[in-house]
Structure formats: C-alpha cells, structure tokens
Structure 1
Amino acid sequence: MGTGGIRAGSALAVGAAVVGVGAGASWLWRHQAGIAFSRPVNEWTFTHMSTVMPTETVSRAPESRPLPSGPRLRGFAYEYQGERRTLTELHARTRTTGFAVLHRGMLVREEYPGRFASPETRFQLFSLTKSVTSILVGIALEEGALGSTADKVVSYVPELAGSAYDGPTVEDLLHMSSGVEFVEDYTDPASSFARFERAVSGGGSLLDVVRSLPRAAEPGGTFSYSTVDSQVLGWVLESATGLTLSRYAHSRLWSRIGTERDAYYFLTRGRPRTALGGGSLNATVRDLARVGLLMACGGELDGQQVVPASWVERSRGVSMPHLAVGALGTDIAPHYGYANQWWTLDGERRSFTGIGIHGQYLWVDPDADVVVVKTSAWNTAEDEARDAETVSALSALVAHLEAHG
C-alpha cells in the first residue's frame, strides 16, 4: 500500500474510533475539570493552563528587580501533632510544587519539588488571584479611577441591574459580604459553583449565571465565601479603568515591581471572553514573592508607593465582627478571618495570606518581614488536614526567622 493508501486507511481508522468513542468523548468533556484537577494529571494542568484555555498576557516589567540571596535557611523544623518535621517532609505531605521564602527582601530558600516546576514555570493560582484583584482595586481607588468603596456595583456594571447584585457596594464585594447566594461547593455538580465552572470551561455565559443568583441576606453583614463576588469585583475594576484585568495588572503592578516573567490570566471559552478576577491568574513563584514583598513593605518598593499603605493595612484585618478570625462559619477553618479579599490570621502579628484551592499560598508577615510562596497540587480542592499543617509550619517558620535572623 502506498502512502496515500496509508493516509486513507489511517483516516478511516480515526473516523471509526471517533464514532466508537463518541459517548466516551462526551463523558470526558463533561468531566474535564474533575480529571484535570486530580492527581497525577493536576501537576501538569496547574503548570500548563495556557495550553488548555484562552489567555491574555500580563507583560513582565521592562527591567527585572533582583531578589538577592540571603543566608540559606537551615536547621528549621516545626512541631505538628506531636511530631517534629522538616520542610522537606512538609512538601511531601502537602504536595508542594514550588516554594520560596523571602526574609528582609532576600531569598533564603527556593525549591521546586513539582514534576513540571521550575523558576520559569507559571503556576495556576486559583483564588489567590482574588488577593491580586484587591491590590488592583486599591490602586484604582488611589488614582481616582474607582470613586469609592461605597459605590454601588451596578453603577459600574449596569448589566446587573435588577439582579441580586443591584444593591451591594464595592466594599461588600471586597469582604465577601454581598448577601448574594452562591454555593461554593466544589463537589456538588448541581451547585451554583458547578454552573459557574461549566460556563467558564464550556462556553456558556458567566453574566447569565451571575444574574440568576438569588439574594440570601442583606448586603454588608454576613460573610459568605463567593468566587462570584470576586468575579463581579473584577468587572467593576475593568469598567472603572477601561482596561482588561491583564492590561491593568501590567500597567499598575507587574511593570512596577520588577517582575521577571510574563504572567497571564486564562479566559472563558465563551465570548465575550473574560478573565476571572477570582481565579485565573498564572505567575511564577518568584514574581508572586515580589507581590508579597510589596505588601510586606506597606505597599512601597524602592521608594515608590505602588499600593496605598492604608490599603495594605486593611488587608491585615478590619474591625467587623462577622469577619473576625473564627467567626466566618462552621465550614471555614477557625484559624482564619477575612478582609479585603485576603485571609487574616489569629494573634497580634496580624499576618495575612492569599489562598487558592489545591494548596496555593502567599503568606505575608510585615512585622517579621517574611514572605512565603507555596504552590501545591492537592488531589482535592480543599484539604483541612493539609491546610492545618501548612498554617502550623508557616507560622513556625516566621517565628524561626524572626528569632534567628
């Protein structure tokens, strides 16, 4: 058989296979997220989102800001459940893929246990994106593009008039207190989160999903973790600035903190394509550490006030009882509070952290001048045991650096 016959035979075989696996392909399409986000596939997915979804680039800085190396972190161990453990054990137990520690602006530890991880790898940050969105909102308020946190959401996104988001303010969104009912259940295929996810990956309308959500409480007084609150906040920011999240992030943040690699947001498959202000940023560990360093330094870097100091301060906690550590509800770990799209932590230190599902952390302790970035590939979106051990280890790490630095 000649090459033409081979090609024809191959085409027929492929065609027969497609017909034969049609039901299987349909099943794969419906369950694509579950497959992509479970081990061992997720280590690849979380470092290759640009091959899976449409993207928009956040261009790097014109000139990279060095992260100077400091004295290597040695001799550290943490106590957990009566056992003394090392960072190497933490990485194995909590599926770390990338890890970096800054102390006083110097890189004292950096490692990449993940199979596809390196200093050049862009990691999918999931809900850690929310904390970056908050930074951008603070900048937009300072420069006057956004009028006030008291502004109504619909004054920027009129498409939401008549929906449950007709009433909440920008402030309500920042504190996850919109009063809009959104069930952030990653396991229930009938939940509103599942409908949101299907719209993102399957080509549906995010706006239709958002408009369909009911009111559950009056705005401003009840915490309810909601990726949709952050999504709407991203739309508010884009409307106020006239720029996409990617372009605004480059112009006001990425270009000012000396990032060394382009980041990107993945976009919805459906048109109009949109970034997820609550979950689609991908960036390197080092560049995320630069974001943390900015927050640890009160929003100032190299003499330039990039983020208002007052905005950083409110990200460490606000005086609202329903946002206090331990007051967020029975489905939230009691060691967390919430403010300004950041998770706050107990104690006088007022550390705070961005968190993404599957184990992404940007831990900031301004008092000790410590920043820790940890990317991970947990098998499930949430893992109470791995989160508790991570919080215990990073708290001990901060105390160790402060005592020995």
Structure 2
Amino acid sequence: MRKRTIALGIAIAALAAGGGWYASLDKETRGILAAMPTNADVLMWSESQRDAAFRAMDRLPLLAQANEIAPSPHPLALPEGKPLTIPGIDDYLAKQREAGIVILQDGKVRFERYGLGFDAQGRWTSFSVAKSFTSTLVGAAIQDGAIRSLEDKVSQYIPDLRGSAYDDVSIRQLLTMSSGVRWNEDYEDPNSDVARFNTAKPDPGVDATVSYMRKLPRAHPPGEVWHYNTGETNLIGVLVSSAVKRPLAQYLQEKVWQPAGMEAKATWLKGETGHEIAGCCLQAATRDFARFGLFVLANGKAGDRQIVPTDWFAQATTKQKDIGHPGKGYGFQWWTYDDGSVAAQGIFGQGIFIDPKRKLVIASNADWTRASKGPEPAAREAFYKQIQARIDAGN
C-alpha cells in the first residue's frame, strides 16, 4: 500500500568507483548492492531487484538512513506447537513468492517457512504494515498522557499545519483516513500525490511530509468520507514524535519492541528531514512481526505493563469506516473483517493477520509479481480462510 522512493544514483556511483564505503561492506551486502535497481520507482524494479532490495533497505546507508530499534533483553519465547498440515502449501508459497511465513496459534509456532534466499535472521521491509505500528504508538502516547484525546485537532501537535486543510482535522480522522483532504494514492500514476510527495522539496525549516500535505486542498468535510492516504500516516508519525518528544523508532523500542519481547533488532527508514516514514519502511524479522500480533491479542499488555489504554485495540481493530467491500472495513490504520479478525497489510505481500477468536497470527513477507493488483491478494485471503477452517477442524 506504499511506494517508497529511494535516491539511488549516488550509491550506484559509489559502487562504480569503489572506495572506502564500498570496501567496508560485507560480501553479502556487496552482492545485494550489485543487484539493486538504478531507478527510484519500486514499481519499476524487476523481481530479482526487489528480492535484493526488500531485505536490505537499511543496510546501504547511501540509499536510505534508518533509526535502529534494539531488541528485548528477554525475548518472548515462541515454543513449537502441533505442526499444522496445510494441503497445497508448497504451491501456495511459490505463487506468493513468499520470503517468510510464521503461523502462531495460542502463542506457539504451528508453521514456519522461508524462501527467496531469506531466513529467520533477516529483516524484510514492511511497507504499509508499519501503519498499524504507528497507530499503536498513538495509543501508547494517550496512555502516557502525551496526547490528550483523539478529538484534539492535528494542528495542536503540528503547528506548521495551521491555516491548512488539516486545521480542522482531528487525530481520530487521521487514524481512520477520513480527513476529507484531497489525495491520490494511485501507485502507477507518476503524477499522483503518493508519487510526488516523496520527492517534493520541503519548505525551509518544515518537515518534508508536513510541507507537502499542508498545501493540499479539501475535497470533503472532515470525517465523512474514507479515502486511503499514506501521507496522513506519515503525519501521524510526526504528530506522535512531537507529542512524546523523541524519535518514533525510540518510542517504538520503549513501548512495544522491548516490552513485547522482540528477539531481533529492527530499523525504521527516515525521510528527507529526519522523521521516520511512519506509513512505511519498518524492517524486522518475520518472527517479530508475528510477536506484534501476540501483543495485539494480549490487548497491548506486556508483562505487568499496560502499554495502551485497555479499550485501545477494541477501537483500533473494529470497523470505524466503511471501505466499500462487503465483510471488511477500516479501523485505526488496521483492515478489519466482520468476523472479528484484523490485518496489517503492505504492498508486494507483507502482512500480519490476527484472529482473536482462534488466537491465530499469520505473519508473512513476500515479493508479489505486482504491488497489489495481481492474483496474490485474493489467494492470500483464501489462504487465511483455509487456515481458519483447518484449525476449526482440529488440525
């Protein structure tokens, strides 16, 4: 759900010239760099280029800067459960071009598999799966008292938005993507907002996202129309950072990554003016994406700490807005299902599916043939239903 533009020319020049930076890289990273694309549009990369890039967005500092997120000193154990038999699984994984999949039930690993040369120790990029982490940090900031209310206006926390179409938009309306501000999220349109806001020159002294978003006109009254908008998730990230007075990655480490027992280091890519790209680009191990699902199932409680308000996930993972698809909706940066399940989703097959009724979490990373318009999304939805049915049947 998110196109990440990365400036590659300087890195390719460094590769061609050699020198100290390139010489300092390990052999695997050099190979990844050699396979990296020379243009900035992820939708134009070949499959092999994406295979290389998606596991290495944070390993090539000339491509993108990232803030690190340290793992927990006490990782949450994921014991082995009864192996889950899944008919047709090899064909499904191949057609999904799956890099990693972890299926947990009742906190135990029932299925785990890796592909595309990826493994359990690697970090794969999240794309818009990061949106659900960002919304969770809003809940943490409310719990901490740094954000007073979801009804507060966004411009109270981001003064540079005053006088713009966002002046009358609430935090709740940002979370539910119902600001009413005009936005084009067409990934295949080079003139869309989602394409242009990554490369637009920011106003002096203003965050890059804020600089672009404050120039957009209004299309609808706030709160009336749902419209998917990655730029607004980036605004949420700026808002949280401003409220808690520290970088988003640091706050994620303090409030989720370490308390929830994440086992491996993660990273979060930064935009041009230094804020983490809140709508995208969290790099983590597949098992830790799955652990986030367990954190949600635990209602945001880690040990004896309640990280978010006790009613947070009841709101966040419940349909707040109709999206025009029967059986589905949108919560606080979560895709909801009428059966009570919920999902975080990113382009090219990244996802965390959570089913509270079955205590089920399915974390998956992939490199689909297309960002979101190929055959893979429907096949994945069918796969979720297949796993639910297998569990209901006692398998």
Deviations 1:125-148 (A, max 9, x none): 011100001111111111211100
Question: Are 2:228 and 1:236 equivalent residues in the alignment?
Answer: no
CA distance in 2, matches of 1:384, 1:221: 30
Deviations 1:317-369 (A, max 9, x none): 14x5xx23xxx14xxx55531011000113xx310000001111100001100
Q: Which structure: larger Rg?
A: 1
Aligned to 1:374: 364
Aligned to 1:254: 257
Aligned to 2:215: 212
Kept in 1: contact 2:210–2:235 (CA 8 A): no
User: How high is the TM-score relative to the length of structure 1?
Assistant: 0.83
Aligned to 2:173: 172
Kept in 2: contact 1:55–1:267 (CA 8 A): yes
CA distance 1:170–1:35, shift in 2 (3 Å): closer
CA-based RMSD: 2.2
Give the C-alpha shift of residue 402 in structure 1: 3.5
Aligned to 1:267: 270
Instruction: Give aligned pairs, total.
Output: 355
CA distance in 2, matches of 1:193, 1:354: 19
Kept in 2: contact 1:289–1:373 (CA 8 A): yes
Question: Are 2:78 and 1:67 equivalent residues in the alignment?
Answer: yes
1:377-396 correspondence runs (5 A): 377-383=367-373, 385-396=375-386
Aligned to 1:133: 134
CA distance 1:175–1:384, shift in 2 (3 Å): farther
CA distance in 1, matches of 2:310, 2:375: 34
CA distance 1:222–1:35, shift in 2 (3 Å): closer
CA distance in 2, matches of 1:32, 1:239: 29
CA distance in 2, matches of 1:136, 1:380: 30
Aligned to 1:110: 112
1:6-405 correspondence runs (5 A): 31-34=39-42, 37-50=45-58, 51=60, 52-74=63-85, 76-77=86-87, 86-115=88-117, 117-199=118-200, 205-268=208-271, 270=272, 272-318=273-319, 320=320, 323-324=321-322, 328-329=323-324, 334-346=326-338, 349-383=339-373, 385-404=375-394
Deviations 1:92-136 (A, max 9, x none): 111111100001000111111122x11111111011100001111
User: How high is the TM-score relative to the length of structure 2?
Assistant: 0.85
Give the C-alpha shift of residue 199 in structure 1: 4.2
Give the C-alpha shift of residue 37 in structure 1: 4.3
Q: Which stretches in structure 2 are left out of the alignment for 5+ residues?
A: 1-15, 18-36, 202-206
CA distance in 2, matches of 1:399, 1:297: 23
Q: 1:293 is aligned with what amino acid?
A: L
Kept in 2: contact 1:37–1:379 (CA 8 A): no
Give the C-alpha shift of residue 214 in structure 1: 1.3
Give the C-alpha shift of residue 36 in structure 1: 6.9
Give the C-alpha shift of residue 65 in structure 1: 1.6
Worse-matched range after superposition: 307-316 or 167-176? 307-316
Aligned to 1:82: none
Kept in 1: contact 2:142–2:309 (CA 8 A): no
In structure 2, the residue corresponding to 1:136 is in which secondary structure?
helix
Q: 1:207 is aligned with what amino acid?
A: V
CA distance in 2, matches of 1:37, 1:134: 30
Q: Which stretches in structure 1 are left out of the alignment for 5+ residues?
A: 1-12, 15-27, 78-85
In structure 1, the residue corresponding to 2:169 is in which secondary structure?
coil
Kept in 1: contact 2:209–2:235 (CA 8 A): no
Q: 1:366 is aligned with what amino acid?
A: P
CA distance in 1, matches of 2:326, 2:89: 24
Give the C-alpha shift of residue 286 in structure 1: 0.7
Q: 2:69 is aligned with what amino acid?
A: V
CA distance in 2, matches of 1:274, 1:234: 8
Q: 1:72 is aligned with what amino acid?
A: P
Aligned to 2:21: none
